[in-house]
C-alpha cells in the first residue's frame, strides 16, 4: 500500500474517530458494575440475615436453659428442643428447602452445687444463604452464615437464693385512712357531740354524746401489713421449706426501732411487720443503714455472713434486696429533713455499688418523699408510686414475684 494512500483525508478521518470507545468500555465494565451493585444489595441482606440468625441462636439458648432449669425438658431432650426452636424462629426467613436443624450445633453442660443444678447452653446454627441474581451473574452462588449464642441458667429445683431486708416507715401519718373500705369490717361505731342545749344547773350550754356508724377505711399501716403479706406469700410459694430465702426488717419514724434480724423464711419478719404501730415523725437514714449493714455483715471468719449462710445450706450465692417504703418526707432536723435525705442517699449509693437491688415504694407520699425513693431505686423499674391501697398491694406482690422468679442470664 502506497504512503500516499494512507495520507488520504478519508482514511485519516477514519483512524482518528474515537466514537466507539464508550461502547467498548461499557461492554468491558458492565459485568463489573453488575457485580458491584449486586454486592451492595447482598451486603445488606447478609447483615440482616446474620442478625436474624443471632437472635434465633440467643432465643433458642435462653429458652432451652430455662426449660431445663424449670424441669420442662430433660437433658436428653435439650438438643432437639433447641434445634426445633431455631427452625421455628428462622422459618419465615429461609427457603423451605433449607434444613437448618441438621446444621445447628447444641452443647449443654450441667453443673451441680449443693442441692441445685445450673445449665449452660450454647446453640450454634448455620446455613447457606442464596445470593441474588446479580451476584450469581459474576460467579457467586451462596454465602455461608453462622453464629452462636450461650446462656447460663438459674438453678433448677427451686429459685436462686435470696436475702431480702425491708426498711418500713411507721410514722404517724401511716395511721391515716386510705380510700379503701375495710373488707372484713366495713363499718365502725363512733361517738360525736349532739343535741346542744342549755344546762341550767351548770349555767352553760352543753352537748349530749351520740353514737353513730360510718364507713371503716383501711389505715395506711393496715394496708402495709396486707401488702407485705403479698410479698411474703410470693416468697413462701417459691420456697415452701424455707431453704433458699432469708428475710429481715427494720421500722422507723423519727427514730429507728429494734430490727427483725435476717432469718430463714418469712415467719419472723411477718410477725414483726404485723406488730407495727403508726407514730412519730420521719427519718429513714438509720433504717436504711441497718438494712445495708445487715446484708453485708461479716461473720467471725471475716467472710460475708449472708453468702456463707446460703453457701452452707444450698451452695449458692444469694441475690440481695432492700425494700424501702415511706409515705412521707424526712423531717424534724435543722434543715427540715434534708440532712436525713443526704444520709439515706449515701447508703443507697453504697448498696447499689455492692450489687444490692433496691426496690422503693412511695405510698401516697409528697413530692420530697417521692424524689428520695426514686433516687434510691436501682432503676425506674424498681420504683413504685402507690397512690392508693390497691397500688401498694400490687407493688409488694410484684416485688415478691420478681425476687422469687427463676433467673436466667444471657451471655453472648
According to DSSP, the residues that pair with 120 across neighbouring strands are 109, 152
Query: Domain check: are 139 and 171 in the same one?
Result: no
Looking up cell 466507539 gives 20
In this structure, is residue 131 part of a structural domain?
A: yes
DSSP state of 132: P
Q: Which helix (H) or strand (E) holds 295?
A: helix 285-296
Q: What is the rounded average pLDDT of the residues 166-170?
A: 98
- Per the structure, how many domains does the chain have? 3
Residues 6+ apart with CB under 8 A from 5: 11
Spatial contact of 192 and 212, defined as CB atoms under 8 Å apart: yes
- Is residue 22 pLDDT above 90, yes or no? no
SS (H, E, C) 179-221: EEECCCCCEEEEEEEEEEEEECCCCEEEEEEEEEEEECEEEHH
- Is residue 409 pLDDT above 50, yes or no? no
pLDDT digits (tens, 9 = 90+) for 352-400: 999 999 999 999 999 999 999 999 999 999 999 999 999 999 999 999 8
Query: Domain check: are 304 and 168 in the same one?
Result: yes
Residues 6+ apart with CB under 8 A from 132: 38, 41, 42, 45
Domain that holds residue 193: 187-217
In this structure, is residue 112 part of a structural domain?
A: yes
In this structure, is residue 77 part of a structural domain?
A: yes
pLDDT digits (tens, 9 = 90+) for 248-295: 999 999 999 999 999 999 999 999 999 999 999 999 999 999 999 999
Spatial contact of 111 and 155, defined as CB atoms under 8 Å apart: no
CA 210 – CA 339 distance, rounded (Å): 47
Domain harbouring 312, CATH code: 3.40.50.410
Reference 370, options 388, 357, 383; nearest CA is 383
pLDDT at 332: 82
CA 138 – CA 36 distance, rounded (Å): 10
Amino acid at each position: 500500500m502506497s504512503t500516499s494512500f494512507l495520507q488520504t483525508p478519508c482514511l485519516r478521518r477514519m483512524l482518528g474517530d474515537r466514537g466507539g470507545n464508550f461502547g467498548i468500555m461499557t461492554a468491558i465494565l458492565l459485568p463489573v458494575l453488575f457485580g458491584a451493585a449486586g454486592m451492595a444489595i447482598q451486603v445488606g441482606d447478609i447483615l440482616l440475615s446474620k442478625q436474624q440468625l443471632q437472635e434465633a441462636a440467643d432465643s433458642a439458648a435462653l429458652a432451652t436453659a430455662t426449660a431445663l432449669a424449670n424441669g420442662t425438658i430433660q437433658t436428653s431432650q435439650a438438643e432437639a428442643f433447641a434445634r426445633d426452636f431455631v427452625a421455628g424462629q428462622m422459618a419465615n426467613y429461609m427457603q423451605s428447602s433449607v434444613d437448618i436443624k441438621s446444621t445447628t450445633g447444641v452443647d449443654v453442660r450441667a453443673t451441680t452445687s449443693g442441692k441445685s443444678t445450673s445449665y449452660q447452653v450454647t446453640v450454634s446454627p448455620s446455613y447457606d444463604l442464596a445470593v441474588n441474581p446479580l451476584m450469581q451473574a459474576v460467579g457467586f452462588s451462596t454465602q455461608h452464615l453462622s453464629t452462636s449464642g450461650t446462656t447460663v441458667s438459674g438453678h433448677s429445683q427451686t429459685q436462686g437464693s435470696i436475702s431480702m431486708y425491708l426498711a418500713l416507715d411507721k410514722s404517724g401519718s401511716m395511721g391515716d385512712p386510705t380510700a379503701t373500705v375495710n373488707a372484713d369490717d366495713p363499718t365502725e361505731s363512733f361517738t360525736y357531740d349532739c343535741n346542744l342545749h342549755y344546762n341550767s344547773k351548770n349555767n352553760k350550754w352543753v352537748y349530749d354524746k351520740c353514737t353513730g356508724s360510718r364507713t371503716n377505711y383501711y389505715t395506711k399501716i393496715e394496708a402495709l401489713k396486707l401488702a407485705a403479706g403479698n410479698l411474703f406469700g410470693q416468697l413462701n410459694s417459691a420456697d415452701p421449706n424455707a431453704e433458699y430465702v432469708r428475710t429481715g426488717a427494720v421500722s422507723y419514724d423519727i427514730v429507728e426501732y429494734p430490727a427483725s434480724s435476717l432469718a430463714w423464711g418469712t415467719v419472723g419478719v411477718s410477725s414483726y411487720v404485723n406488730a407495727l404501730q403508726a407514730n412519730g415523725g420521719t427519718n429513714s437514714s438509720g433504717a436504711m443503714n441497718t438494712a445495708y449493714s445487715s446484708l453485708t455483715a461479716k461473720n467471725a471468719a471475716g467472710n460475708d455472713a449472708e453468702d456463707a449462710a446460703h453457701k452452707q445450706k444450698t451452695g449458692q450465692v444469694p441475690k440481695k434486696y432492700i425494700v424501702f417504703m415511706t409515705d412521707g418526707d424526712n423531717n424534724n432536723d435543722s434543715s427540715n429533713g434534708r440532712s436525713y435525705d443526704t444520709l439515706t442517699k449515701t447508703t443507697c449509693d453504697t448498696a447499689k455499688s455492692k450489687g444490692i437491688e433496691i426496690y422503693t415504694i412511695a405510698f401516697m407520699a409528697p413530692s420530697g418523699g417521692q424524689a428520695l425513693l426514686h433516687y434510691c431505686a436501682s432503676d425506674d423499674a424498681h420504683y413504685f408510686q402507690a397512690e392508693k391501697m390497691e397500688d401498694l398491694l400490687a407493688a409488694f406482690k410484684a416485688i415478691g414475684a420478681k425476687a422469687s422468679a427463676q433467673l436466667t442470664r444471657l451471655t453472648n
